[in-house]
């Protein structure tokens, strides 16, 4: 369509950038993007929150007035537009706090993460946590940590200990009553509530500049969990390190064009000669990238399930050949596998002897696998015996489920979050600064959007397609490109460990 010159703007009580509602039978909500004259009438071009039946991409009768997504431009006489009272009670209330007029009062209660909610309840603008002044790193982490999972709820309820700092209970109340509870019940948290937390962290943690400077998610974890709340470390490593997140360190493999987090975690543990001492309730993995710009791999596929069976210390493993209880590990066999995986390094005694008779494996070095005390007795007592008078059993595998991915692009953090647990749970995309009302004196508008095809794109079915088109992004939806190309942290949880704790 050929664009023509835009008509002259006119003065009106409503201005571009104001949120309005058109009171039709099905009300149309949106933001005014253009006001002007058309055939003697004052008209408004609205970018709508949802697709409109008669919507366009910003054109009207051959003219282009603004740009937006298809079916999200709606043109009506200006007199049909009313201020959206969800946002404006008065100009005075807008300027009183600087964050808009939607109140999010504290809620003093014990509120569990929401379940079985439709997208109409949790998605849309003014959903999630409102961002303000470089807070996106913190907003995306809080949204991921607390909205749909209880994995971090221990810090909301743990009683104060004598060794805790003086403001411990104050910080706990600000998080629980001011942020988590309003998020779980009303699905929105205004920025001033988060500013209270930022002020406390800035004053009482080792991380300076929490009030206004750009920070990274790992700095927030150290400030909140480590310095202020004194939470127990999430991860205990065989090296003796205790930490809240696991940074992937490894040598780059140029032949590995499209790695998964499963593959990268295994490589990092193998090259670093490190194992997990126990199954963590939450495993936060920091991708192999340095700063905001350098990425070791162009794309990384976040594995929907992370199998940590072979990186656990003193945990039963299965022989990769016969499936029986493994007694030896041969790390030299890792690279020899068709598709390298740590499972290929575990052998029972008989299979170890047979497989290492091959001349290419005779110099391999094996180490004994420590089997938990009493595990063999447990197998004998609880297994049926086969015709050869041998116990029939299956060695259990420890798997964790992906529940959030934090992404970064040009210093701006967003998150993909799973709405609950299980394979059928839906995913959403969260941006605390998706839109803005006003200029310097205005405020940010957060948004939560559904991502119904995320699980499909991360499936094994799609893996081969992505691997064969690694340099072609055209067929990949924008949000999936962002997920694969901008992942900064992947967060996994163990529902079994959470239930036990």
Active-site residue flag, 282: no
Is residue 419 flagged as an active site residue? Answer: no
Catalytic residue among 68, 136, 282, 419: 136
127 C-beta neighbours (distance < 10 Å), count: 23
Residue partners of 120: CB distance under 8 A and separation at least 6: none
Reduced to 3 states (helix: H, G, I; strand: E, B; else coil), residue 500 is helix
* Strand bridging mode 282-286 / 246-247: parallel
Q: CB of 449 within 8 A of CB of 137? A: no
* Spatial separation of the C-alpha atoms in residues 341 and 345, rounded to whole Å: 8
Please give the Cα distance from 429 to 32 (Å, whole number).
24
Would you tell me how many other CB atoms lie within 10 Å of the CB of residue 364?
A: 16
Q: How far is Cα 487 from Cα 480, in angstroms, rounded to an integer? A: 11
Beta-bridge mates of residue 286: 247, 489
Q: Which of 412, 419, 479, 490 is catalytic?
A: 412
- Where do runs of H (alpha helix) occur along 27-167? 91-97, 119-122, 136-146, 154-157
Strands 282-286 and 487-493: antiparallel
List helix spans (H) across 167-276.
168-175, 181-186, 191-204, 217-221, 261-272
The answer for residues whose C-beta is within 8 angstroms of residue 166's C-beta and 6 or more apart is: none
The number of CA neighbours under 13 Å toward the Cβ of 332 is 12
In order of 147, 268, 332, 334, 352, the CA distances from 365 in angstroms are 47, 20, 7, 12, 11
In 3-state terms, what secondary structure has residue 107? coil
Integer-rounded Cα Rg, in Å, for the chain is 27
Determine the Cα–Cα distance for residues 285 and 283; give it in Å rounded to an integer.
6
Nearest of 429, 462, 460, 461 to residue 447 by alpha carbon: 429
Q: Which of 431, 479, 481, 449 is nearest to 50 (CA)?
A: 449
Q: Is 70 exposed, middle or buried (0-12, 13-18, 19+ CB in 10 A)?
A: exposed
As annotated, the active-site residues are 136, 412
């Amino acid at each position: 369509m050929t664009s023509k010159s835009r008509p002259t703007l006119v003065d009106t009580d409503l201005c571009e950038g104001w949120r309005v509602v058109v009171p039709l039978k099905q009300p149309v909500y949106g933001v005014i993007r253009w006001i002007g004259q058309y055939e003697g009438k004052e008209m408004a071009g609205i970018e709508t929150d949802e697709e409109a039946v008669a919507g366009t991409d910003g054109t009207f009768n051959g003219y282009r007035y603004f740009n937006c997504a298809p079916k999200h431009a709606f043109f009506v006489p200006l007199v049909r537009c009313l201020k959206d009272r969800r946002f404006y009670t008065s100009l005075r209330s807008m300027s009183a706090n600087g964050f808009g007029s939607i109140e999010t009062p504290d809620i003093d209660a014990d509120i569990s993460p929401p379940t079985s909610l439709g997208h109409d309840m949790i998605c849309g603008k003014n959903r999630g946590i409102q961002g303000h002044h470089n807070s996106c790193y913190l907003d995306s982490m809080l949204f991921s940590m607390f909205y749909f999972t209880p994995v971090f709820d221990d810090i909301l309820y743990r009683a104060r200990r004598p060794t805790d700092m003086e403001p411990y209970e104050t910080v706990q109340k600000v998080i629980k009553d001011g942020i988590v509870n309003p998020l779980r019940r009303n699905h929105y948290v205004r920025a001033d509530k988060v500013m209270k937390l930022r002020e406390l962290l800035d004053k009482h943690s080792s991380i300076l500049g929490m009030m206004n400077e750009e920070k990274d998610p790992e700095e927030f974890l150290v400030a909140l969990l480590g310095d202020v709340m004194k939470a127990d470390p999430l991860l205990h490593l065989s090296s003796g390190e205790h930490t809240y997140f696991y940074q992937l360190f490894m040598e780059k493999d140029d032949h590995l064009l499209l790695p998964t987090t499963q593959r990268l975690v295994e490589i990092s543990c193998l090259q670093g000669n490190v194992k997990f001492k126990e199954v963590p309730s939450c495993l936060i993995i920091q991708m192999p990238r340095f700063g905001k710009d350098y990425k070791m791999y162009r794309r990384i596929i976040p594995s929907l399930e992370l199998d940590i069976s072979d990186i656990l210390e003193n945990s039963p493993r299965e022989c990769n050949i016969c499936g029986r209880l493994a007694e030896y590990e041969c790390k030299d066999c890792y690279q020899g596998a068709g598709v390298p995986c740590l499972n290929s390094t575990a052998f029972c005694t008989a299979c170890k002897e047979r497989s290492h008779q091959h001349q290419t494996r005779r110099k391999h070095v094996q180490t004994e696998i420590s089997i938990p005390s009493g595990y063999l007795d447990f197998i004998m007592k609880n297994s049926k015996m086969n015709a050869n008078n041998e116990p029939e059993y299956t060695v259990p595998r420890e798997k964790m489920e992906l529940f959030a991915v934090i992404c970064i692009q040009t210093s701006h953090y967003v998150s993909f979050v799973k709405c609950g647990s299980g394979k059928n749970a839906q995913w959403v995309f969260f941006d605390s600064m998706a839109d803005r009302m006003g200029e310097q004196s205005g405020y940010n508008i957060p948004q939560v959007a559904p991502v119904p095809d995320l699980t499909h794109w991360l499936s094994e079915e799609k893996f081969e397609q992505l691997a064969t088109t690694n340099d072609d992004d055209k067929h990949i939806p924008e949000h999936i490109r962002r997920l694969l190309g901008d992942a900064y942290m992947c967060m996994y949880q163990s529902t079994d460990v959470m239930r036990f704790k």
